Amino acid sequence: MDIITICEEKLPDYEEKARSSALSLLLQIKMFYEEHLHLDDEIRYVLDGSGYFDVRDDEDRWIRIFVEKGDLITLPAGIYHRFTVDEQNYVKAMRLFVGQPVWTAYNRPADHLEARKQYLTFLAQSA
């Protein structure tokens, strides 16, 4: 478990990075907005603020899920998703893990990964 805060003042080395490379907050959080998947479930409990998780349906269309303080969301391993803050540019969330903490993101396309194959098999069986 750890806590992540996404906002200008809380990103690691934000001021230094912003001065040295003139990056805006939007560029700082680009890594969260890049469509990706994980090999493990992504479990988040929103402690403060709000934002959006975007996931794909079985026809590859976007579904936007609004999360705010008090919400708990679990995204299964192998699902393509992305995250962005809303107009407040602030969210604080607890990242929960099963086993060892793993933050590795695999940007799309990553269909060759076993987690993706298992997720697609689960979707097919659920239909």
Low-confidence ranges of the chain (pLDDT < 50): 17-18, 20-22
Predicted TM-score (pTM) of the model is 0.84
Contacts of residues 118-127 at CB distance under 8 Å and 24 or more positions apart, as own/partner, are 118/77, 118/78, 119/37, 119/76, 119/77, 119/78, 119/79, 120/78, 122/76, 123/58, 127/58
Identify the structural domains of the chain with CATH numbers, from first to last: 2-126 (2.60.120.10)
> What tens digit of pLDDT does each residue of 89-125 get?
899 999 999 888 888 999 999 999 999 999 999 999 9
